[in-house]
Amino acid sequence: MSDFAGMEDLLQDFLQEAHDLLSDVDNKLVDLEKNPDDRGLLNDIFRGFHTIKGGAGFLNATELVTLCHLTENLFDRLRNAEMHLSPELMDLIMAATKGVRDMFGELSGGVQPRPAEEGLIGALRTTLETGLVPGAPVVAAPVAAAAPAAAPVAATGSGTIPAGPDGGPDWSVLHAAITGVPAVVPPQAPAAAPVADPAAGTTMTPVPPAYGRRAADKPGTPAPAGRRVEERVRENTIRVDTARLDQVLNLSGEIGLTKNRLTSLRVDILAGKNDADTLHALDQAVSQLDLLVSDLQNAVMKTRMQPIGRLFQKYPRIARDLARQLGKDVELVLAGEETEVDKTMIEDLADPLIHLIRNAVDHGVENPEDRAAAGKSAKSLVRLEARQEGDHILLIIADDGRGMSAERIRAKAVEKGLISEEEANTLDERQSLNLIFLPGFSTKTQVSDVSGRGVGMDVVKTNIQKLNGSIEIRSEPGKGSVFIISLPLTLAILPVLLVLLGDQPFALPLSLVREILPVDRTKIQEVGGKETLVVRGEILPVVSLAKLLGWPQERPAEYGVLMQTAEKSFILGVDNFAGRDDAVIKSLEDFRPRGVAGVTTLSNGQIVLILDMKELLADLGQHLEADPRNLRALEMH
């Protein structure tokens, strides 16, 4: 049974506000590290912990109150100039914020949080009592390779302490070093032998984590695909500006008045009053209703829109922790935080963006020595930007690092057996860079060869495609890389192209459509048993929609829809078109046939299937893959 029976609403309100406060604190901590004497930042962080402590006290979350109170007192002393912020103290504070976030996770499960690590609480108390900063060397210098293996250690600025059983710093040993009280340290397993890094193919000795960071943040460990456990739970609430709700209410009232007007006109018409004035009034009322419904639809959609800054604010801390751990000087620059995106889309973007940012910090940017040798500034810049362009949102993740070599990526894909030598020779630069999205692609040479971006990138692309989006890469060796994600404004309304097979309409996502063209059967040529058509010098496979759906092909397709997905371009053969529409997507939760993303209803009441092209193409297998040797022979003709 939940520890918060009868208080669920209060708990959810607290967690939503507290998560936002802690994310803001994390960002301000990153800024404070660059400006340790900024009193404004010190005061803001102090107030953040104080506010979280107050809410936790109302919920009787005693252990969370204790941790926030100790951290709050540290900042009280810092803002009163009784202590000075050092790298070691910052590590301790970062560990405390991680402890607070972990407690949020327990609260979200409906239980009171367990006490923070005794060593962490002890280190905080000792620092407040003595002014001694955690991080003074308490372990001898690293022993020679021939000596017995030492326990794993956690680096903190200028010193090191043994790692605890969870891979994090053993705070009890640190506390003992400061206070002189012995701590019982469990026997450590022998040090791990050097291992081959699956991400980059390099051999490295495991590097211990630093204060307060997740064990998964160790260099040489692939970036996690997901978020923290407490962040995996999808929020079912949303904050809406009252002005937007007022607009919805006003429009609803106007629609009610228009409905009454239509009812009155209907009575007049049924009574035989069909004069020109009545019919004109009917036309006006119907037009008014049409406009009001459209306005209401837009207003309701805006209630789902949230500033993407709520997502962005999580990332400076992630970039800071990983950069500090890797010995890099990286600044994450945020832009376009006010850009609004569908709330459900924001939640599904978290994992891909975390992966891209971690890859930029870990593999994209060089270490300070390599940057100096290349004539670059010691500080690397990673930029995360959002902006709206037309009916799409663009997310840009750019770094000024080593960049990627299309030639080396092609060579590595051939070496891994993902493509043939002949296929590699037909790929341009854009297609070559997209090879990193192939499942199983990774580099086996030094990270600097191809920048090591292959691990998990297929998951990034898949997640973006689930949002009806696309991802594009631009890179220049020695200058850096740019990943551009394009997304629709909302997932609830999807612009579609209505195509016909006989009299049956189907809806195709308009974002995949490049153009519509007639199909001249005399110009279709078979290459390796597969139909192809040359469009402005580009050789494209042709596949009929009937074949994709498993329908009988009654007659050759008269029209083609030139479509482009993240992997390939092709021509989809159809019988005719029924126009363009903005489909309100209705999901099929209980029964969803493969290849169907959802359904929509046309103005005439007809139900139309919205096709999931990715699933349909996957079922088609290799039909779209023409042998490049045959394609070159076709070009010669």
State the Cα–Cα distance between residues 529 and 535, nearest whole angstrom.
19
CATH 3.50.50.60 fits 8-130, yes or no: no
Q: Reply yes or no on domain 310-488 having CATH 3.30.565.10.
A: yes
Q: How far is CA 198 from CA 220, 292, 375, 443, 568, in A?
A: 8, 57, 30, 8, 28
Which of 52, 50, 58 has its CA nearest to residue 104? Answer: 52
Dist. CA 376–CA 306, nearest whole Å? 37
Position 114 scores a pLDDT of: 92
CATH number for region 493-636: 2.40.50.180
Cα-to-chain-centroid distance, residue 617: 25
In the numeric block, which tokens belong to residue 84?
Answer: 């000075």
Residue 157 CB neighbours (<10 A): 18
Tokens standing for residue 604: 């005439």
Whose CA is closest to 535, among 565, 515, 555? 515
Predicted local distance difference test score (pLDDT) of residue 195: 33
- For 453-519, the three-class secondary structure string (H helix, E strand, C coil) is CCCCHHHHHHHHHHCCCEEEEEEECCCEEEEEEEEECCCCEEEEEEEEECCEEEEEEHHHEEEEEEC
pLDDT of residue 370: 92
10-residue stretch averages of pLDDT, the chain, 637 residues long: 69 86 90 90 92 90 93 91 87 91 90 89 88 50 34 37 46 41 37 36 32 34 36 62 89 93 90 87 91 86 85 89 90 92 85 92 91 92 90 90 90 87 86 85 47 62 83 91 88 83 88 86 79 83 87 83 78 89 74 79 83 75 42 35
Cβ-contact 281, 263 below 8 angstroms: no
Q: What was the pLDDT predicted at 179?
A: 37
* Exposure string for 26-52, b = 16+ CB within 10 A, e = fewer: bbbbbebbeeeebeebbebbbebbbbb
Contact 431, 568 (CB under 8 A): no
Output the six-digit token pair for 226: 């997901």
pLDDT of residue 97: 92
Q: Can you tell me the distance from the alpha carbon of 203 to that of 220, in angstroms, rounded to the nearest whole number? A: 9
pLDDT of residue 567: 61
Cα dihedral 416, 419, 425, 431 sign: negative
**CA angle 319–320–321, rounded 5-degree value:** 95
Q: Would you say 568 and 551 are in contact if contact means Cβ atoms under 8 Å apart?
A: no
**H-helix or E-strand spanning residue 381:** strand 380-389
Q: Give the SS3 label for residue 572.
A: strand
pLDDT at 286: 92
Task: Using the structure block, give the residue that is written with the tokens 């340790």.
Answer: 36
Contact between 133 and 74 under an 8 Å Cβ cutoff? The reply is no
Beta bridge partners of 508: 497
**Percent helix / strand / coil, the chain, rounded to 5:** 45, 20, 35
Q: At what angle do helices 276-303 and 242-270 cross, to 10 degrees?
A: 160
